Amino acid sequence: MFYFGCILLLAGVAVATLSFPLAAVPGYEFAISMAVAVVPVVAVHTIVCRPRQQSITNLSHTLLMNLGLLALPLLISSLNALRVGGCGLLSGLGFYLLLPGVSVVFATAVAIFLHNHTRRRWLAVVLFFLLLLLSVTFTLLRTVYGVPLYAFNAFFGYFPGPIYDPALAIDARLVLYRLFVLGLALWWLLLDWQSIFTWRTRRAAGFWFLTLLLAGLFLSESHLGFYTSRDYLRRSLGSKLAGEGFQLFYDRRLSSQDFNPDEFKSDCQYWFDTIRRELQLEDNKQPITIYVYGDVASKKRLTGAGKTLIGDPINREVHMLPAAFPNTILKHELTHVLAGAFGIARLGLARTPGLMEGLAVALEGWQGKFSTHQWAKAVMERERPPDVKEVMQGLKFYQFPMKQSYSVAGSFVEFLLQRYGLDRFKEVYRTGRFQRVYQLEIHELISQWRSWLDDVVLSAGDREEMQPVLARKAIFQRRCPHETASLRAVGYRATVSGDFERARGCFVKSYALSGGAAADLYGLTYVYQENPSWQGSLESYLLARTLVKRKTHNNVAWRLLGDLFLHHDQSLLALASYQRVPMAKLSRDQRLVIRMLELGMPTQARTFLQKRSTSERLKLVTEWLEDGHGFVEMLWWQSVTQLKVDKGEADKLATVVAQLDNDQRFARLPKALHAKRQRLLGEYFYRQGDVERAAIYFAAAGEEPAAKIWRQRVVAEITGL
């Protein structure tokens, strides 16, 4: 009866998971839920029901009985997958085998040892739960105070990292770790069996060999990917620079790429000093450590967070990918760390995620083309906006789509800072007690903020441009998010490497799993645009028309249609399609193609598009300019492209800058490009150390968004503020 009670208990847990979309079908979330539930059940069942008899037969019977507890939950989840549609049955079964399956074996081995070496069953149960508590505490402490955001645990399995990195698949590291756990289970059993054949017999050699092997694997955990120590991380990155108040570790491979460590250190110093000034912070003797990774893959391997950038106030660390100034994402992550000075004691965290992320977004000020308040107004005008109180006061912050929750939190915090000042906000950041700090209930503050948003200007065109971004769903609302994210990642890598058939297959499969997500159609358009032999195909046309009808990724669709018509020598239709896309959403190459078509140069436009690499296009444009067939926008394209190509060669760079500065033909550039030209010249002279001359160019760039940030930087440097 006790065994059947255990079966019903676990079946109840499986039924409960059906209420949560991510855990409702076989997959990682279902597997980890069952691992957490089954371990204590297995321990109690083994200790209470198993006789104290050391034999292979008894061990086999106990293991089979315990593994049998997993059968009914798997059946329930699988039947639900048939009802609602599964995501990846093989992957789900793999996670189920590696997480709760291995956990049952390990928990059984530990429970058998404790059962055989204690006189009272209740004492064995207590000792098991104490050991379980120690294991979980050890894992949590290493996760909180260590580098990696992923975590391996012998009892429960594996936590992969932040929810904003949805790609998740079974990899060699997980398989190896669970094999290691099976080795630990065997170690507990051998330790139990030593009483049978005594410690001095030859059979004990196997126990000692296994002990040394497991100890060696544990000591090599950083090399095996089970854990990343700080020492291992710093040795893996390999290069170091020191700034005032921070130290910078960066991937040595970046030195051979388009990355200047001294410039990046200067950028870090500027943001560091700016945030301290804006938050009115005193000097902190403990420096911040900034890690810059060479690529997404290495960052994912070392920290568990691939594209997600991390500001860790507990350990005063920032984990970044290369980001050129004035990219404000570095300011965002540094804000998390520096705001720890007035966060919760010894942790540095805000009381809620909404307060923590809201402050960082508020200090950024602008999110691309639009201000934080414009994004927030667009969010609150949606048919079903997020509940602002839930965004600001609890963990439901993560339930809402990322762009919506971040924009609302950032705008609300900026309102609090402007209306009520920094000192009050610092207190609410630490305590989360809005009523005590502001003498108003939070719903009254939200009402004031919403009235304040009424004065924010947002045009119909702005709303239309924001709509595709705001329409993205949170990970909890997507169908098969882990499988589709993994397929898309493979699809993009295959496209870059030229394996277009594989890339198309990945996006098509992801489209089917996701229930027709626009992101997969977007991926397919990328494949068709990158493959010259597919650009003019009927499939390409149908794909673009599908996107246009769905009113998602319209800009991508019209660009694809433009390429299609140009491929078939329909230059007027191509130009009409390209012109449906806002100029801000076009790349420099695409703007050049449009200008060629406007000037009646369809052959050159088609030839330009057929060249796949930047170097080939640069060579082609240079030849046209030398032959006298160019125009000012073509000269602009060549100069800006040459700036990137020659970034590491001072003499060539100086030649290009001199041309940008002195060639009178650039006076005929459109206003937006003229502003960008002034900003690029300002950046060059700033990097050369001529700050005052750089300030002149930044001032001439007017309201160009990046130039505004640069102006703030040079003014601060000149005035010493």
pLDDT tens string 495-515: 888 888 898 888 888 888 877
Q: What is the pLDDT of residue 640?
A: 85
pLDDT band at 552 (very low <50, low <70, confident <90, very high): low
Confidence label for 558 from pLDDT (cuts 50, 70 and 90)? confident
3 state DSSP class of 581: coil
For 566-620, write each residue's pLDDT tens digit: 877 888 888 888 888 877 778 888 888 888 888 888 888 888 888 878 888 888 8
Contacts of 63 (CB under 8 A, 6+ apart): 104, 105, 108
Contacts of 93 (CB under 8 A, 6+ apart): 26
Interval 202-214 mean pLDDT:
81
How crowded is residue 530: how many other Cβ atoms within 10 Å of its Cβ? 15
C-alpha closest to that of 481 among 31, 161, 21, 99: 21
Weakest mean pLDDT among 35-39, 476-480, 674-678: 476-480
Alpha-carbon distance of 717 to 721, in angstroms, equals 7
State mean pLDDT over 348-357: 93
Predicted local confidence at residue 196, as pLDDT: 47
> Residue 59, CB half-sphere, CA atoms under 13 Å: how many?
18
Name residue 256's amino acid: S
Provide the angle, in degrees to the nearest 10, between the axes of the packed helices 481-497 and 518-530: 10
Confidence band of 367 (pLDDT split at 50, 70, 90) = confident
Does residue 675 register a pLDDT over 90? no
537-547: average pLDDT: 68
The lowest-confidence range among 19-23, 60-64, 216-220 is 19-23
Residue whose pair of structure tokens reads 């002195």 in the numeric block: 662
What is the average pLDDT across 27-39?
92
Please provide residue 660's backbone torsions phi and psi, each rounded to the nearest 5 degrees.
-60, -35
pLDDT at 63 over 50: yes
The secondary structure element, H or E, covering residue 290 is: strand 288-292
Question: What's the whole-number mean pLDDT along residues 225-231?
Answer: 93
Q: What is the pLDDT of residue 412?
A: 94
For the stretch 248-268, pLDDT in tens is 999 988 876 678 888 888 889
CA distance 27 to 87: 8
Indicate the burial class of 547 (C-beta count within 10 angstroms; 0-12, 13-18, 19 or more): buried
Dihedral, CA of residue 570, residue 572, residue 576 and residue 581, to nearest 10: 70
Which of 182-186, 438-442, 589-593 is predicted with the least confidence, judged by mean pLDDT?
589-593
Least-confidence region, from 25-39, 297-311, 542-556 = 542-556
- 126 or 612: which leads in pLDDT: 126
Q: Is the pLDDT of residue 42 over 80?
A: yes
Of all helices (H) and strands (E), which one includes residue 424? helix 422-431
> Around Cβ 642, how many Cβ atoms within 10 Å?
20
pLDDT band, very low/low/confident/very high, at 470 (cuts 50, 70, 90)? confident
Q: What is the DSSP letter of 321?
A: -
pLDDT score of 155 more than 80: yes
Spatial separation of the C-alpha atoms in residues 264 and 166, rounded to whole Å: 29
Question: What are phi and psi for residue 248, nearest 5 degrees?
Answer: -120, 120
